[in-house]
Amino acid sequence: MMRAIGLGVGLFGLWLALSGYFKPFLLSLGVLSCIATVLIAQRMRLLDRETVPLELPLTLLLYWAWLGREVMKSSIAVSRVILARKMPIAQQLIRVPTTQHTEMGHTIFANSITLTPGTVTVETTDDSYIIHALTDAACDMDGFASMDARAAKVGGA
Amino acid sequence: MFFAILLALMVTMLLVIIRLFAGPTLYDRVLATNSFGTLTVLLIGLLGFLTERPEFLDIAMLYALINFVSTIAILKFFRYRDISRGLVQAPEEEQRNA
Amino acid sequence: MHELLGMAADIISIFLFIIGGGFMLIGAIGIIRLPDFWSRLHAAGIIDTVGAELILTGMMFQAGFTQVTVKLILIGLFLFVTSPTSTHALANAAFTAGIMPLGMKRNESDKVLKPAPVRDGVKT
């Protein structure tokens, strides 16, 4: 029930943001369409942890701020590699262990690795990932471990 | 100001489209297509600002959605040669197929 | 006071446009210059994350507190979530197809993967 209400509120917020209408008639049409969508989602049994992640804590925003700084740092490093006369590339596929237990944690950690330029998640298993790294500096194991701990805190380990 | 950034965007798109035509493997081409789509989203948004018609942003949003779905669909098709196959099969289905 | 705020917003967005456009051009140069598919993936990552997000943020400062900013935030969030997903899908598809990095220095992929199961005659 909580998830149905959450989905309805989220959908109505999206409707308001995209339409920008505040006339009573159009508002009631928006509410009706949101309720219809929630009912269809209920009937399709789509309301679960994955589609309505109410468990995500607000510290996700703090995590994004931290991730933004990391992304800036590593993109400057990759830009240096691209602009160098002899590009110092040392490509490698490395194994990175992970301690995530939930699917959300896995998603957050693997996507964070992919989002930072210089490293891309290639394959995932339950206890470790294959990462493609562009340079030696990109495969910084302590950095991965600290990102893992932060992602576990957000994604619920 | 918008004009200058539009020019930079155009140059970027030109370079990316060179890779799209030159790319030796299929995956280079898909990569270039995906980047080109992201740049197109930005281009549509900037055009909306230049012509002072913010409705363009709705089109930009739709383009972002279509770009993501089409990239995934192309990759799935070239991996399985079939779009209707499920990526993860349910256990009972798997037994039936085995 | 109002004019001053407008000028500050202009300066911030010009700054963001310059940095974002610079990263975008660097990414495009990388896409042309880097030697193989796997390294180009990182150049495309620069365009998709840093370049796009910074330019969208610059546009937000130009729009001010309006509905346009909300739409720009939605586009930014969407790109932020989907660009790593499509990059991962691309990398995984290329890895499955057997394309390997040029001049690979270290390969630990065998330590993670068990031999792939064969399902319906297709390696999954």
> Is A65 in the same domain as A139?
yes
Range of the domain at A142: 59-155
> Is A33 in the same domain as A69?
no
Residue A129, SS3?
strand
Nearest CB to A120 within list C41, C50, C67:
C41
Q: Is A122 on the interface with C (CB under 8 A)?
A: yes
pLDDT means per 10 residues, chain A with 157 residues, are 88 89 90 94 84 80 91 91 86 88 87 90 88 85 88 78
Mutual angle of helices C52-63 and C67-96, in 10-degree steps: 170
In the block, which residue shows the tokens 């279509």? B66
Which residues share a beta bridge with C122?
Answer: C119
Question: Who wins on pLDDT, B33 or A48?
Answer: B33
> CB distance B5–C21 less than 8 Å?
yes
For residue B86, is pLDDT > 70?
Answer: no
Contact criterion met (CB below 8 Å) for A134 and C44? no
Structure confidence by residue, pLDDT tens digits, C11-66: 999 999 999 999 999 999 999 988 888 999 999 989 988 999 999 999 999 888 88
> Is A36 in the same domain as A109?
no
The answer to whether residue A52 sits within a structural domain is no
| Distance, CA of A48 to CA of A82 (rounded, Å) | 44
> Is A84 in the same domain as A11?
no
| Distance, CA of A11 to CA of A33 (rounded, Å) | 9
- Determine the distance from the C-alpha atom of residue C70 to the mean position of all C-alpha atoms in its chain, rounded to a whole number: 21
Nearest CA-CA distance, residue C93 and chain A, Å: 9
Give the C-alpha distances (Å, rounded to integers) separating B89 from B74, B94, C114.
20, 6, 19
Residue A7 burial (10 A CB sphere; 0-12, 13-18, 19+): buried
Judging contacts by C-beta atoms under 8 Å, the chain A residues touching residue C95 are 122-123, 130
Phi-psi region of A156 (alpha: psi -120 to 50; beta: other; left: phi over 0): left
In CATH, what number is assigned to the domain containing residue A114? 3.30.70
Q: So what's the pLDDT on residue B29? A: 92
| Distance, CA of A105 to CA of A5 (rounded, Å) | 24
Range of the domain at B45: 2-97
ipTM for the assembly? 0.85
The answer to whether residue A54 sits within a structural domain is no
Judging contacts by C-beta atoms under 8 Å, the chain A residues touching residue C106 are 92-94
| Distance, CA of C121 to CA of C124 (rounded, Å) | 9
The total number of structural domains in chain B stands at 1
Q: So what's the pLDDT on residue B98? A: 46
- Determine the distance from the C-alpha atom of residue A117 to the mean position of all C-alpha atoms in its chain, rounded to a whole number: 15
Instruction: Report DSSP letters for C67-91, one per residue.
Output: HHHHHHHHHHHHHHHHHHHHHHHHH
Q: Is A134 on the interface with C (CB under 8 A)?
A: yes
Q: Taking residues C96-112, report their average pLDDT.
A: 79
For residue C123, is pLDDT > 70?
Answer: no
